Amino acid sequence: MANQPDPKFPTFSALYTHLLTLPPPLLPPGKATSPTLTSSIAALSLHPTLETAFHILNNDLPSAHFLVRHMQSPPAYEGMFLHGILHRIEGDYDNARAWYGNVSASDVFTTDVAGREG
């Protein structure tokens, strides 16, 4: 049976709004903040980068890690950056630094939203 979204969060907007109310993932969590949201996130069929970000916001690091393992080389810079964030949350600073180093020269991270370099 396919993943079914939680009826309380049937849309991207509803789920995103809810995830932003959760405490930020700053330290390694013992478990997902809301384990029932894992299937709701997966049921949205988002781009893997967005799905990974949603799992991170829900402190569901195993689900997020599963996705970023498949985005380990250019041009998947966003996935590689999220991989660094995961290791930072887990307290694995050397591994996080390595992932950040892999993406530090990419256009995605050297150009700001206004298109300026630096």
Q: Is residue 82 part of a domain?
A: yes
Q: What per-residue confidence (pLDDT) applies to 8?
A: 74
Give the structural domain span for 81. Answer: 72-111
CA end-to-end span of the chain, whole Å? 48
In a domain, 43, yes or no: no
Is-contact 81 87, C-beta < 8 A?
Answer: no
Q: Is residue 102 part of a domain?
A: yes
Within 8 A by CB and 6+ apart from 91, the residues are: 27, 28
Say how far residue 90 (Cα) sits from the centre of its chain. Answer: 13
Answer whether residue 51 is part of any domain: no
User: Does residue 14 sit within a domain?
Assistant: no
87 falls within a domain: yes
pLDDT at 116: 67
Residue 98: per-residue pLDDT = 93
Nearest one of 8, 71, 86, 69 to 43, comparing CA atoms: 8
Could you tell me the pTM of the whole model? 0.77
Instruction: Quote the pLDDT of residue 118.
Output: 56
59 falls within a domain: no
Query: Domain tally for the chain?
Result: 1
Q: What is the residue-level pLDDT of the chain in tens, covering all 118 positions? A: 445 556 677 788 888 888 889 888 777 777 888 888 999 999 998 999 999 999 999 999 999 999 998 887 777 888 888 999 999 998 999 999 998 888 888 876 777 655 666 5
Alpha-carbon distance 91 to 51, whole Å? Answer: 22
